[in-house]
Structure 1
Amino acid sequence: MKKKSCMAPNKNTSTPKYKAPKNACDAHCHVFGPHEIFPYSDKATYWPPDGPKEDLAKLHKTLGLDRAVLVQASCHGIDNRAMIDAIASSNGAYRGVCIADDTFSVKDFKELDDGGVRGVRFNFVTHLGGAPDLVKMENVINKVIPLGWHLVIHVNAEDIIKYADFFAKFDLPIVVDHMGRVPTNLTVHQEAYKILCEFMKKENWWVKISGSERISPHGAPFYDAVPYAQGLVAIAPDRILWGTDYPHPNIKEHMPDDADLLDLLPLIAPDEETQKKILVDNPARLYGFED
């Protein structure tokens, strides 16, 4: 079966104008391959260009970021080895979020935990295969709760509406990727964004103010995403994360310069205290980073 290809990331990242604080964390990024060592899944809907750990480290050096959370992407499926390898080489600077199914045993999850994984991710978006089997998903969640893990959900705006009752039944920390992918051309008054804001009033809900390049139809510098992020920060500044999403899989157009994405942060949160919460304190608390 022919796999969908992806645009390669911009590897000529600019130096951002914004200087991140010490121990700032990119809380949503990926490693892909090298596929000769860590093959892509035959079930994946896309096979991206290799995005190895060395490229990620180079990006973070340019951006001035010291920590990262590697999020398993669907191209590798439930084979988390590339992520675990990158975490092991990071000298404590990386944590991970895995993809798993209900074939994983308690022992399997303990081994991932020992390798630096702190959460499990489920994709609901249509272009990645659509919603998972909710019964199997709940079985996985019950296995990771004793480890103190959290649930990461990658959803489209309509999924927040459709599965609102299902998500509301869990009391472990729930992290929403990319601001729920709410499209900026539908304004902050759209139903999905309102539901996301209501969920963010609950103490166990978190959101990543990442994916500005995904929700903006206009391209760089993605200023139209700023009000959405501002609204979420205003509700729960202690449960906000930020990430690059490098190397930006499945971007159809407007491949970002990651410096532009980091330079949105002082527009979203003008005061240094909130910036430090988003980049340092919040990810440290959720992922167990230590000074």
Structure 2
Amino acid sequence: MTTFAPKTPGWLDWYPGPSEPAFRLPHGTVDAHCHVFGPQAEFPLAPERKYTPCDASKDQLFALRDHLGITRNVIVQATCHGADNSAMLDAVRAAGGRARGVATVPPDIGERELRELDAAGVRGVRFNFVRRLVDASPADALSTIAKKIAPLGWHVVLYFESADLEELEDFFGSLPAPLVVDHMGRPDVSKPLHGPEFSRFLRFVDRNEVQVKVSCPERLTVTGPPALDGERHAYTDVVPFARRVVEEFPDQVLWGTDWPHPNLKSHMPDDGLLVDYVPQIAVTGEQQRKLLVDNPMRLYWPGETA
């Protein structure tokens, strides 16, 4: 009898009953940042992982996709699976062309394996610099990976804390592949919108033509998630930061749910409310179309129509 690893103490499971969004997503909307976990019975977790999540299967992800009115997904390799991309690849294949993948790969990966990943739907690799999630992110190894994926036209997804950008931005700028930043570089939203920390991030985006995911207000908020009125406004302390990115870089922004929301401590978000967050940060129809459809389609399905 197989024994499965218990969840990390205090782990918050994803919310199984998301509300119906008030905002209707445009046809072709891409959830450009989501994950699958296991299920453990089919896809064991990495021994070196920093957390043990609940199961979050591809079928459950696709059910959420359909409930929210999303057309396509970009499934990002979860750190709990390490460099074994099996669960992510299984989900991408099962989506029948409606998903792409972002993988985690070792520096010694060969060209043949990379081309197999490309054929399976992978379009990028993720470099994680959040210290609580990884032991180390050696620059030489990551540079090696970036050089190997560049001929495929893949991009590098960067996950880091805002306070660490100063020491990392020169390295990021040296990478020979397009860059995508998770969750706006995790700004401290208790600091001024026009303060030095967020201004540094915006300069980095401008100088390097970075794509930015204006996602995860539930991770960044200080004030919390409650809706404040009948229009379902929430995460209002994060809104000015995301809106500024959308306004300054309308052709360089992406959106995603981050389902199933790993490692949250304060609350588990209602994914329907996360959809209703979109018109707070992208206030015009043109901004919404670029954020949700045009930009992710150009990055992950170039040449295809939504």
| TM-score bracket for the superposition, by shorter chain length | over 0.9
> In 2 relative to 1, CA 124–130 (structure 1 residues): closer, same or farther, beyond 3 Å?
farther
2:212 corresponding residue in structure 1? 207
Moved more, 54-63 or 163-172: 163-172
Q: Deviations over 1:151-170 (max 9, x none)?
A: 00010112212211111223
Q: CA deviation at 1:262?
A: 1.2
Q: Is the 8 A contact 2:7 2:53 kept in 1?
A: no
Q: 1:131 to 1:198 in 2, by over 3 A?
A: farther
Does structure 1 residue 286 correspond to structure 2 residue 299? yes
C-alpha distance in 1 between matches for 2:195 and 2:132: 22
Taking the aligned partners of 2:7 and 2:128, their CA distance within structure 1 comes to 18
* Structure-1 residue corresponding to 2:23: 18
- Return 158-167 or 270-279, whichever deviates more: 158-167
Letter in structure 1 aligned against 2:8 = K
Structure 1 window deviating more from structure 2 (88-97 vs 158-167): it is 158-167
Output the CA distance in 2 between the equivalents of 1:187 and 1:17. Answer: 30
- The answer to whether the Cα contact below 8 Å between 2:161 and 2:186 also exists between their aligned partners in 1 is yes
RMSD over equivalenced CA pairs, Å: 1.5
Partner amino acid, structure 1, of 2:218: E
Say if 2:280 is the partner of 1:267: yes
| Identical-residue share of aligned pairs (%) | 42
Alignment correspondent of 1:87? 92
Larger radius of gyration: 2
CA distance in 2, matches of 1:124, 1:172: 17
Asked if 2 retains the 8 angstrom alpha-carbon contact of 1:101 and 1:140, the reply is yes
Q: How many residues align?
A: 291
Structure 1 segment 169-208 matched on structure 2, within 5 A? 169-202=174-207, 204-208=209-213
Counterpart position of 1:217: 222
Inter-partner Cα distance in structure 1 for 2:39 and 2:247: 40
CA distance 1:189–1:204, shift in 2 (3 Å): closer
3-state SS of paired residue (1:42): coil
Do the aligned residues in 2 keep the contact of 1:121 with 1:152 (CA within 8 Å)?
yes
* Secondary structure, aligned partner of 1:18: coil
User: How much does 1:235 deviate?
Assistant: 1.7
**Which one is further off, 35-44 or 165-174?**
165-174
Amino acid at match of 2:266: E
Could you give the per-residue CA deviations for residues 198-219 of structure 1, whole angstroms, max 9, x where no partner exists?
A: 1221353110000111110222
One of 121, 145, 149 as aligned partner of 1:144: 149
Cα distance in structure 1, aligned partners of 2:207 and 2:23? 31
**Partner SS for 1:279:** helix
- Per the TM alignment, residue 131 of structure 1 is displaced from its structure 2 partner at its CA by 4.2
SS at match of 2:207: coil
Counterparts of 1:55-66 in structure 2 under 5 Å?
Answer: 55-66=60-71
Closer, same or farther: CA 190–129 of 1 in aligned 2, 3 Å: farther
Q: What secondary structure is seen at the aligned counterpart in 1 of 2:90?
A: helix
Cα distance, 1:171–1:232 mapped onto 2, change above 3 Å = farther
Q: Which runs of 5+ in 1 are unaligned?
A: none
Q: Distance in 2 between matches of 1:2 and 1:159?
A: 32
CA distance in 1, matches of 2:152, 2:273: 36
CA deviations over 1:23-74 (Å, ceiling 9, x no partner): 1010000011011111110000001000000111111111110101000010
Q: Aligned match of 1:276 in 265, 276, 289?
A: 289
Distance 1:2 1:108 in 2: 32
Name the counterpart of 2:139. 134
Partners of 2:238 and 2:126 in 1: CA distance: 24
